[in-house]
Amino acid sequence: MNITDTNQSETLLEDLGDDMIIDQHDVNGVSDVTSTRARRDIPQMMRKIPVTLTLEVGSARISLEELMAIGPDSVLELDMLAGEPLVIKVNGTPIGRAEVVVAGENYGLKVIDLDGLNLDLMTA
């Protein structure tokens, strides 16, 4: 994680903290507004929560003996075919498929389909 990522995460968390201000009640149950800033609803706040998006190339099941024999020139065969779409995961949960592309100087992903991503249902 670089400094920019850290600053963005801190900003998101500060925004969430501001949005999560809860009205305080006096003894009679009358609401006392503690902030003039308008509060957002829960689904809108949840959309700001940072998640980890990964692209899974594949996996291989090997023995400990094979693992110990791995060296700098070793090649391990994965369970995915070359050219097959890769799995998109959010916090470890598969949500769709994509292919690798070059985006500037970095790798990126081109979404082919999304199966398990419905933020409206998740935040309703």
Rounded to an integer, what distance in angstroms lies between the CA atom of residue 96 and that of residue 91? 13
pLDDT tens, position by position, 9-25: 555 555 555 544 444 44
DSSP-assigned beta bridge partners for residue 56: 87
Q: Are residues 43 and 62 located together in one domain of the fold?
A: no
Share of the chain above pLDDT 90, in %: 40
Looking at the fold, whether 27 and 69 belong to one and the same domain comes out as no
Q: pLDDT at residue 7 above 80?
A: no
Q: In whole angstroms, give the CA distance from residue 117 to residue 91.
A: 12
- Please write the tens of the pLDDT for every residue from 28-37: 555 544 444 4
Query: Does residue 26 share a domain with residue 59?
Result: no
Average of per-residue pLDDT across 79-88: 91
Q: Is the pLDDT of residue 8 over 90?
A: no
Could you list the residue range(s) of the whole structural domain that residue 6 is in? 1-50
Q: Examine the domain organization and report whether 45 and 56 are in the same domain.
A: no
CATH, residue 75? 2.30.330.10
Average pLDDT of the residues of the chain: 75
Three-state SS at 18: helix
Percent of the chain with pLDDT over 70: 60
| Alpha carbon separation from 34 to 4, 15, 59, 80, 110 (Å, rounded) | 32, 16, 52, 55, 45
Structurally, the chain folds into a number of domains equal to 2
What's the rounded Cα separation, in Å, for the pair 11 and 54?
A: 22
